[in-house]
């Protein structure tokens, strides 16, 4: 069985502020992306890895992954879901040299601390399901509000914080992304489970890890440095 990790890294990291895109920022001794790629390279059930990059980041990418055995990078698009779809199409278009993957794990390149356990768990979940995502329960009290005033308290027992990897049987997610591409009648798509949900495909929840937080802001990068040092 071919299990491919599709690592999306074509964003601009605007919430991080000025400087190199966050996926190429140095975290400890290595670029963020290199940490992430190594986590998947070290997993015995991952067959290969492809990274989706921004068209202006080729040099940054080549430097960050120098010496790592990866599939050729794919140029992404203006939105995360477009980058994913372009990555999936590239994986589909590898015949006759290589058959498409059986399973694909779509992962944010800026979640470097993905765990071996979570990678294995989302892969295994696909034995019984077409889709499975890493997620974490909600521990805070969640409010709705309008004009700065609370309008209610949301039942947090039904809420989960979606993470990545988000794992799919490859034909399922390829068809789903193709089906929703360009549809203006759907709510904004911020993860790949949303694409599957839009088509009524059941998505299993798999326990993720608090360590697998997404690096979005400067504060997250500082948190990641502390995590790497073992200070949290
Ligand atoms: N057009 C895009 C947008 C995002 N991503 C990737 O999707 C992941 C999660 O997205 P996010 O954290 O929002 O990254 P950015 O879009 O770069 O951040 P911002 O919204 O702050 O610009 C990141 O690894 C990012 O590189 C992508 O491949 N293509
Ligand atoms: C895919 C994701 O990381 C799951 O939580 C999240 O949806 C990315 O959202 P962003 O708006 O691109 O940061």
pTM of the model: 0.97
CB 106 within 8 A of CB 30: no
Average pLDDT, the chain: 97
C-beta 108 within 6 A of ligand 2 = yes
Percent of the chain topping pLDDT 90: 94
- Residue 157 dihedral angles phi and psi, to the nearest 5°: -65, -20
Ligand 1 pocket member 80 (CB < 6 A): yes
What's the N-to-C CA distance of the chain in angstroms? 37
Across the chain, the runs of DSSP E, i.e. the strands, are 3-9, 26-27, 30-31, 48-53, 74-75, 103-108, 131-137, 142-146, 149-154, 160-169, 204-207
CATH code, 54: 3.90.550.10
Ligand 1 centroid – CA 126 distance (Å): 26
Q: Provide the residue range defining the domain that includes 128.
A: 3-229
Q: How close is the Cα of 83 to the center of ligand 1, in Å?
A: 9
Mutate-to-test residue for ligand 2 from 138, 164, 187, highest number of ligand atoms within 8 A of CB: 164
Average pLDDT over residues 111-125: 98
Q: Which ligand sits closest to the CA of 188?
A: 2
pLDDT tens digit string along 41-81? 999 999 999 999 999 999 999 999 999 999 999 999 999 99
For a mutational test of ligand 1's pocket, the pick from 11, 53, 88, i.e. the residue with the most ligand atoms closer than 8 A to its C-beta, is 11
- Count up the domains in the chain and report the number: 1
CA dist list (Å): 7 to 114, 159, 215: 12, 26, 14
Are the C-beta atoms of 170 and 196 separated by less than 8 Å? Answer: no
Q: Of 91, 99, 86, 40, give the one whose Cα is nearest residue 65.
A: 40
Contact (Cβ atoms closer than 8 angstroms) between residue 94 and residue 100: yes
Its ipTM equals 0.98
């Amino acid at each position: 069985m071919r299990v491919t990790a599709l690592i999306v890294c074509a964003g601009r990291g605007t919430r991080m502020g000025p400087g190199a895109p966050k996926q190429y920022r140095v975290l400890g001794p290595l670029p963020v992306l290199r940490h992430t790629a190594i986590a998947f390279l070290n997993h015995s059930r991952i067959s290969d890895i492809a990274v989706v990059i921004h068209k202006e980041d080729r040099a940054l990418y080549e430097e960050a992954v120098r010496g790592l055995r990866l599939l050729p990078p794919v140029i992404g698009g203006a939105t995360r879901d477009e980058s994913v779809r372009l990555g999936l199409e590239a994986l589909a278009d590898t015949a006759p040299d290589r058959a498409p993957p059986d399973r694909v794990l779509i992962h944010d390149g800026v979640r470097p601390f993905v765990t071996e356990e979570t990678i294995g768990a989302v892969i295994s979940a696909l034995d019984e399901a077409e889709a499975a995502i890493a997620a974490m329960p909600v521990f805070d009290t969640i409010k709705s509000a309008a004009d700065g005033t609370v309008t209610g308290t949301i039942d947090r027992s039904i809420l989960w914080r979606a993470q990545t990897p988000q794992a799919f049987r490859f034909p399922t997610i390829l068809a789903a992304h193709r089906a929703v591409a360009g549809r203006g009648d759907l709510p904004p798509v911020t993860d790949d489970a949303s694409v599957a949900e839009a088509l009524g495909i059941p998505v299993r929840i798999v326990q993720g890890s608090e360590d697998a937080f997404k690096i979005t802001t400067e504060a997250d990068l500082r948190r990641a440095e502390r995590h790497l040092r073992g200070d949290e």
